[in-house]
C-alpha cells in the first residue's frame, strides 16, 4: 500500500523519512491527528523541523504517509488469513486472530485506520482518498476470501461476494470500535461471529 515518495532519497534519507513516519504514527495513535504537532514529531524523533519539511511539504502529506504505513501494517497481518481460505475453519481462525490481538493489547487503540478515518474523513479530499484506497484494499482481501469459498464449492455460485466483503469489513470495524470503547473483546467476538454466521447462510447445500 505504501507508495514510493515522488522525490528520490539516499538510503540514509529513506531511513530518516521512515523514522519520522513511524514516530508520527505512534503519536497520532496516542494523541490523535489534531493532537500531534510537527514540533512534537521533531522532539520525539530527534530531528529538526527542516528535516521534516525536506521529506514532506506539510502536515497533511505526513498524515497521508502515516495512513499508508498503518494500512500496510494492518493488511500485512490480515491478508494472509483472508487470501488463503481453505474452508469454514479459515474464517474461524481469522476471527480468533483478530480477537487475540485485541485481547493481548487490552483492547487499546482499536483499528488504526478506523481511528484515522474518524478524524480525517471531513478533511481534504486527497487525504480522504488515501483512506478510501486503504479500506478498498482491505475489502478486496475479504472479497478474495469469499470468492475462494465459491471456487471451493462451499457457498452458492450466485453469492454476491462484493456485498459480503463489505458486510465483513463493516462488522470488523464496528466490533473494533465497541471493543476499544468497552475495553472488552466480547462485542468484537459477537460481531465477527455474526458476520461469519451470515456468510454461512450462503453455504452450498450438501
pLDDT in tens, 182-206: 999 999 999 999 999 999 999 987 5
Looking at per-residue pLDDT, the higher value among 109 and 167 belongs to 167
d(CA 103, CA 97): 10
Computed on alpha carbons and rounded to an integer, the radius of gyration of the chain in Å comes to 19
pLDDT at 4 over 60: no
Model confidence band, residue 136 (pLDDT cutoffs 50, 70, 90): very high
**DSSP per-residue codes, 56-110:** -SSHHHHHHHHHHHHHHHHHHHHHHHHSS--SHHHHHHHHHHHHHHHHHHTT-S-
Specify burial of residue 111 (Cβ count, 10 A radius: 0-12, 13-18, 19+). buried
pLDDT class of 3 with cuts at 50, 70, 90: very low
What confidence score (pLDDT) does residue 5 get? 46
pLDDT at position 12, please?
Answer: 87
Q: Grid coordinates 495513535 are at which residue?
A: 29
Render pLDDT for 48-88 as a digit per residue (tens, 0 to 9).
Answer: 999 999 999 999 999 999 999 999 999 999 988 998 999 99
- Rounded to two decimals, what is the model's pTM? 0.88
**Class (C level, CATH) for 11-200:** mainly alpha
At 60 the pLDDT is 95
Share of the chain residues as helix, strand and coil, in percent rounded to the nearest 5: 75, 0, 25
Give the integer Cα–Cα distance in Å for 150 and 54.
49
Closest CA to 173 of 128, 130, 118: 118
Amino acid at each position: 500500500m505504501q507508495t514510493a515518495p515522488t522525490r528520490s532519497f539516499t538510503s540514509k534519507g529513506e531511513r530518516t523519512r521512515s523514522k519520522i513516519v513511524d514516530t508520527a504514527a505512534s503519536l497520532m495513535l496516542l494523541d490523535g491527528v489534531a493532537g500531534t504537532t510537527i514540533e512534537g514529531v521533531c522532539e520525539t524523533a530527534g530531528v529538526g523541523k527542516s528535516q521534516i519539511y525536506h521529506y514532506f511539504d506539510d502536515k497533511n502529506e505526513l498524515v497521508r504517509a502515516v495512513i499508508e504505513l498503518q494500512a500496510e501494517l494492518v493488511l500485512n497481518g490480515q491478508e494472509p488469513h483472508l487470501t488463503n481460505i481453505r474452508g469454514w475453519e479459515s474464517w474461524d481462525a481469522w476471527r480468533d486472530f483478530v480477537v487475540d490481538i485485541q485481547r493481548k493489547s487490552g483492547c487499546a487503540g482499536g483499528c488504526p485506520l478506523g481511528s484515522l478515518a474518524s478524524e480525517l474523513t471531513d478533511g481534504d479530499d486527497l487525504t480522504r482518498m488515501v483512506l478510501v484506497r486503504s479500506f478498498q484494499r482491505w475489502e478486496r482481501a475479504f472479497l478474495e476470501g469469499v470468492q475462494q469459498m465459491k471456487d471451493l464449492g462451499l457457498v452458492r455460485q450466485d453469492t454476491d461476494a462484493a456485498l459480503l466483503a463489505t458486510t465483513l469489513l463493516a462488522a470488523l470495524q464496528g466490533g473494533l470500535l465497541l471493543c476499544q470503547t468497552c475495553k472488552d473483546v466480547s462485542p468484537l467476538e459477537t460481531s465477527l461471529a455474526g458476520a461469519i454466521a451470515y456468510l454461512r447462510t450462503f453455504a452450498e447445500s450438501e
